[in-house]
Amino acid sequence: MADSGEASADVGSSLPKSWKIALAIGAPIAIGVAVGAFYYSRRRSDLSSGEKGGKTQTKGKAKQGEPTAHAAAADERTPEEKAQGSKNKGNKYFKAGRYEQAIACYNEAIELVPLDKTKDLSTFYQNRAAAHEQLKNYAQVVTDCTKALELNARYVKALFRRAKAFENMNQKMACLEDTTAVCILENFSHNQSMLLADKMLKELGKEKAQQRYKERVPSLPSGQFIRSYFSSFSDDGISRSSNDYNDEGAGDVGNTGYRKAHRLFTNGDYNGVIEACDEEINTDGDKLAEALLMRATFYLLMGQAAEARPDLDRLIGMDESSKKLRANALIKRGSMHMQEGNSSDAMNDFATAVRIDPDNADIYHHRGQLNLLLDRIDDAAQDFEKCNKLNSNFALAHAQYSYAKYRLALVHQSPMQLHTAMQELENSTKKFPTCAEAFALYAQAQSDQGQFHVADEYFQKAIALEPDNPTAYVHRGLLHLSWKKDADGAIAMIQKALEIDSKCDFAYETLGTIEVQRGNMSAAKSYFEKAIDLARTEMEMSHLFSLSVAAEAQRNVTTKYNITPPSPIL
């Protein structure tokens, strides 16, 4: 399981993104997707080349042992035997915790051993590295391990020891490369190296994201994305064209401030919205609360959490303004906390929203999605249920309630519940025949169940209902990948998503994971880089950087150790 704190909650966890999250949770992120896929393919490929080196050396050593029979009791030991003797002495000191003495013995062994006994020599260097490790001489550990590896390139112990030394020296990339090599050489069965790789990927992802996020140029996502985000609220107090401002005052008041912002918004002219809100806010207009909420929402859509926060804080603190607006601000601030990895702050905001406006269906709808994200399926189902009770016409929430029940049936491993949940999902497509998400969620569940034909049919229906939504194409591509193992076909479908929305980071991320699965690490890395350029939040970036660096490390390792890239599994 992925650790949910890392999963990227999107700006409003609008539905399309929540599948992305569901997928991320279904398959462990970072190490799971990138390294794990490699593992899968690796198992099916031939590792014989990897094994040869070791075996021949072992044989050689056995032969070398023969002359020992000649040697009498007298001290006529060969240099090689003397070296072994020093090493054994060193090992005894090592076990007794006397590392300086152990090092002296290994020095002796290294001096004595004939240069052609490369296997022995590399062992002595590795042992000396182990002693230096105990003394925290990490630079020495690296030097000795490097010597050991020059003599025996696939010496896993030396590789892992060097990885740990690099970790201690805070050389994360070098650490990652070595620990990735261990993962691959050991078929991903070396738990400690898997954990270390995972840790490095997370830390590197975080570091790189911190840097990149500062440099990014904020831009609005596609119009489709913005509309889909707003449609994840049944009533936010700003996006519906309620009459509250048209009716009042003279006709032309609509040309400034919030009124202008709202008109631009309604016309899909999103670029001027923030500026028009600025006007309202700077002049302390009568639509201050609405303007704050609208501006904060657009900042969030552009991934500018720091700019959104003061507006949300201010609105939430305005006791006199409408509870609907304040509850909506709390939902958005809560989702923001979630993106920052602070789920307790997120849940606090949702709890406050419930206190302020207990019958607001949107609160439960969005909290349900966060609970789904946190793998609290029971809580999610309860939230969606409440949302449905409050607003039975909220198609999206209805479909998600059914989907949560489906997930719950999986958790409970109950065939009965599963059957009912599948029926309900199907029913929700009948009840809401124009709700694309209902079709897509049903398709997703059918796909999980291996019912690929039905799944494909419903994904196609979802696409027909919402042809400008790129995510459905990506999901259909993924379906084809599991169904027909046809990477090129899947890629073609996903390319279609990019034709529709060239800013669809989800499509780029998915293309990257497909390339990882067929061992095409350079291509994978460049897709992940494209997704990074489009990512809106630092956490999303961090996750994508982890994937990108994982692909890079695997590319480096397969090249360096001349491991044939896994035979394509797709």
Closest CB 487 distance from ligand NAG, rounded Å: 7
Given candidates 146, 283, 392, 423, which one binds ligand NAG under the rule CB under 6 A?
Answer: 423
345 binds ligand NAG (CB under 6 A): yes
Tell me how many residues contact ligand NAG (CB under 6 A).
24
Closest CB 346 distance from ligand NAG, rounded Å: 9
6 binds ligand NAG (CB under 6 A): no
222 binds ligand NAG (CB under 6 A): no
553 binds ligand NAG (CB under 6 A): yes
515 binds ligand NAG (CB under 6 A): yes
Site for ligand NAG in 10-49 (CB under 6 A): 43, 47
| Residues sharing a CB contact under 8 Å with residue 347, sequence separation 6 or more, in sequence order | 334, 367, 370
CA separation for the pair 409, 532 (Å, rounded) = 35
Kindly list the distances between the CA atom of residue 425 and the CA atoms of 160, 193, 407, 420, in Å, as whole numbers in the listed order: 49, 42, 11, 9
CA separation for the pair 178, 163 (Å, rounded) = 5
170 binds ligand NAG (CB under 6 A): no
CA separation for the pair 17, 504 (Å, rounded) = 11
∠ at Cα 281 (277, 287), nearest 5°?
80
Tokens of 236: 């936010």
424 binds ligand NAG (CB under 6 A): yes
520 binds ligand NAG (CB under 6 A): yes
CA separation for the pair 136, 139 (Å, rounded) = 9
333 binds ligand NAG (CB under 6 A): no
The number of residues making up the chain comes to: 570
Given candidates 186, 307, 378, 457, which one binds ligand NAG under the rule CB under 6 A?
Answer: 186
Q: Where are the beta strands (DSSP E) in 212-253?
A: none
String marking each residue 46-65 x if it binds ligand NAG according to CB under 6 A: -x---x--------------
518 binds ligand NAG (CB under 6 A): yes
HEC profile for 445-476? HHHHCCCHHHHHHHHHHHHHHCCCCHHHHHHH
Given candidates 191, 243, 267, 562, which one binds ligand NAG under the rule CB under 6 A?
Answer: 191
Closest CB 177 distance from ligand NAG, rounded Å: 3
Q: Which stretch binds ligand NAG (CB under 6 A): 79-87, 249-257, 319-327, 340-348?
A: 340-348
For the packed helices 395-412 and 377-390, what is the interaxial angle rounded to 10 degrees?
150
Closest CB 546 distance from ligand NAG, rounded Å: 11
Closest CB 19 distance from ligand NAG, rounded Å: 22
445 binds ligand NAG (CB under 6 A): no
Determine the 3-state secondary structure of 156 from DSSP: helix
Q: What is the DSSP letter of 245?
A: T
Tokens of 512: 């990257």
Q: Among residues 132 and 555, whose Cβ is nearest to ligand NAG?
A: 555
Given candidates 64, 143, 352, 420, which one binds ligand NAG under the rule CB under 6 A?
Answer: 420
Q: Among residues 85 and 568, whose Cβ is nearest to ligand NAG?
A: 568
Q: Which stretch binds ligand NAG (CB under 6 A): 78-86, 185-193, 205-213, 297-305?
A: 185-193
176 binds ligand NAG (CB under 6 A): yes
Residue 71, φ and ψ in degrees, nearest 5: -60, 125
CA separation for the pair 335, 363 (Å, rounded) = 11
Given candidates 68, 88, 187, 434, which one binds ligand NAG under the rule CB under 6 A?
Answer: 187
String marking each residue 88-127 x if it binds ligand NAG according to CB under 6 A: ----------------------------------------
> Closest residue (Cβ) to ligand NAG?
523
Determine the 3-state secondary structure of 503 from DSSP: coil
Please choose, from the candidates 519, 495, 517, 522, the residue with its C-alpha nearest in 3D space to the C-alpha of residue 507: 495
- b/e 204-236 (16+ beta carbons within 10 angstroms → b): bbbebbeebbeebeeebbbebbbebbbebbbbb
Closest CB 515 distance from ligand NAG, rounded Å: 6
569 binds ligand NAG (CB under 6 A): no
Q: Which stretch binds ligand NAG (CB under 6 A): 116-124, 141-149, 170-178, 295-303?
A: 170-178
312 binds ligand NAG (CB under 6 A): no
CA separation for the pair 137, 142 (Å, rounded) = 9
80 binds ligand NAG (CB under 6 A): no
Tokens of 288: 């201050």
342 binds ligand NAG (CB under 6 A): yes
Contact status, residue 388 vs residue 401, Cβ threshold 8 Å: yes
CA separation for the pair 219, 221 (Å, rounded) = 6
Please choose, from the candidates 442, 514, 437, 504, the residue with its C-alpha nearest in 3D space to the C-alpha of residue 470: 504
CA separation for the pair 537, 155 (Å, rounded) = 40
- Using CB under 6 A, list all residues that contact ligand NAG: 43, 47, 51, 173, 176-177, 186-187, 191, 342, 344-345, 420, 423-424, 427, 515, 518, 520, 523, 549, 552-553, 556
